[in-house]
Amino acid sequence: MKKIITPKRNDWALLTQRPNLKVEDLSALVQEVFLDIQQRGDQALREYTQKFDKVNLDNFKVETQEVEDAKNQLSDDLKNAIQVAKNNIEKFHLSQKEEKQIIETTKGVYCWRESRAIEKVGLYIPGGTAPLFSTLLMLGIPANIAGCRDIILCTPPNKEGKVHPAILYTASLLNIQNIYKVGGIQAIGAMTFGTESIGKIDKVFGPGNQYVTAAKQAAQRYGVAIDMPAGPSEVLVIADEFCKPAFVAADLLSQAEHGDDSQVILLSDKDEVVEAVLKEIAQQLKNLPRKEIAQKALENSKAIVLENLNECIEFSNLYAPEHLILALKNARSFISQITNAGSVFLGNYSCESAGDYASGTNHTLPTNGYARNYSGVSLDSFIKKITFQELTQEGLQNIGPSIEQMAEAEELIAHKNAVSIRLQSLV
């Protein structure tokens, strides 16, 4: 990590920039695959699955027996761990349900809002070196609570044409039955247009590589909504003299091992804290199976010493991290100052891994500075809000003249007449 001591405020904006990693222009490839799937459906899917995943599949849908077999391939300890996470995620997301409130804005004028599930949602779960069954919990649970009618799961097959057993087991826990062995651009394309096997969806959720990200962005042009803009994962840790350097180092490395394009930021008001953490990072890095990946991520990361903790919070708000860890003695006292962050972890024992897996909050969060204007996935991500209003005769008489005046001022006379004709009928 590059260490920076008390940078000038004029330099903060530059320091908050993410690494400028080269990303391919995939728009032409995505468009080619999309149009082919739109025209040829499953046949195009078979060809792209063979080309990109190196496996020939006649049937994309996962059969019931495959799901049953997966249940026997997982240890009881892992099954119990998944159940603990499921229970906590359900409890937290159930708390997000809103009760209907009917508001009488004027005597005889009633307004309220009701939630309706997005009917058809698609969940994309990567299945390569890191089969993210935890993300399936994070997406499938709120989709179920919302009451989404159709939930489609797409995940890439391995070279044997199989899906990771942990993904299948988690899907069975969530009663997700429409599971398809399709990955990459072709999976997003299939859900965007629908094929003979895979249904068309209204909104797609889930992480992926740059191919999946480009495909999700393209899907929006065809009327499919997405969860949020995606980018490499990131964490920012603010640590004071009361932090545990070994804990902070472990948090930074847990994020760095996601990928060589991940970024980790350490802020402190004490140089000795930064030095202690950097020493711990060097020690812990030696024992990581993914140390080469973590090392590359650390090369693009920074440890910054600022004047005080308030400056650290200001810098963090400017950076707008996906994950923010306050490894501080009095972490709660800074909550009101935090304006931009995807998810916040308070104190020495609130590791980011807790939010990633089992505390209950959702780990699908805005990255690349989008925490300034996006929230993480929640129950609201799977529902729409519909407003209702009901006017009694008295209600129309109370606000009708105001409507007439405003409509006439905008020269929309038919709007005015819609009120006037009713008011005249009441005379």
Using alpha carbons only, what angle is made at residue 45 by residues 44 and 47, rounded to the nearest 5 degrees? 65
β-bridge mates for residue 74, sequence order: none
Lookup: tokens for 389: 């209003």
Instruction: State residue 22's pLDDT score.
Output: 63
**Whole-prediction pTM value?**
0.94
| CB-CB contact of 200 with 191 (8 Å) | yes
Taking residue 80's Cβ as centre, other Cβ atoms within 10 Å add up to: 10
Domain termination site, one of 306, 341, 360: 360
Whether 206 and 355 map to the same domain: the answer is no
Whether 189 and 97 map to the same domain: the answer is yes
Whether 303 and 250 map to the same domain: the answer is yes
Whether 418 and 337 map to the same domain: the answer is no
Whether 148 and 53 map to the same domain: the answer is yes
Whether 298 and 414 map to the same domain: the answer is no
Whether 44 and 180 map to the same domain: the answer is yes
Taking residue 87's Cβ as centre, other Cβ atoms within 10 Å add up to: 13
In a domain, 365, yes or no: no
In a domain, 374, yes or no: no
Whether 48 and 143 map to the same domain: the answer is yes
Half-sphere exposure of 69 (CA within 13 A, CB side): 8
Instruction: State residue 130's pLDDT score.
Output: 73
Whether 188 and 121 map to the same domain: the answer is yes
In a domain, 48, yes or no: yes
Whether 139 and 39 map to the same domain: the answer is yes
In a domain, 188, yes or no: yes
Domain termination site, one of 226, 244, 260: 226
Whether 212 and 283 map to the same domain: the answer is no
- Determine the distance from the C-alpha atom of residue 188 to the mean position of all C-alpha atoms in its chain, rounded to a whole number: 16
CATH number at residue 409: 1.20.5.1300
Secondary structure (DSSP) of 352-391: HHHHHHTSSS------TTGGGT-PPP-GGGGEEEEEEEEE
The 10 Å CB-count burial string (b at 16+, else e) for 246-285 is ebbbbbbbbbbbbbbbbbbbbbbbeeebbebbbebbeebb
In a domain, 82, yes or no: yes
Instruction: State residue 23's pLDDT score.
Output: 63
Residue 203: which of 226, 186, 187 has the closest Cα?
Answer: 226
In a domain, 367, yes or no: no
- For the segment 75-103, what is each residue's pLDDT rounded down to a tens digit? 999 999 999 999 999 999 999 999 999 99
Q: Which positions are annotated as active-site residues? A: 322-323
| CB-CB contact of 235 with 321 (8 Å) | yes
| CB-CB contact of 201 with 180 (8 Å) | no
Instruction: Give the pLDDT means over successive 10-residue stretches in the chain (427 positions).
Output: 96 90 80 97 96 93 95 96 98 97 98 98 87 96 98 95 96 97 97 97 93 94 93 94 98 93 95 98 95 93 97 98 97 98 98 97 95 96 98 98 98 98 96
Q: How many domains does the chain have?
A: 3
In a domain, 377, yes or no: no
Structural domain range at position 8: 2-19+232-360
Lookup: tokens for 354: 């807790």
Whether 188 and 313 map to the same domain: the answer is no
Instruction: State residue 71's pLDDT score.
Output: 92
Domain termination site, one of 194, 226, 258: 226
Lookup: tokens for 313: 């919070």
| CB-CB contact of 323 with 342 (8 Å) | yes
How many residues are listed for the chain in this entry? Answer: 427
In a domain, 244, yes or no: yes
| CB-CB contact of 182 with 358 (8 Å) | no
CATH number at residue 195: 3.40.50.1980
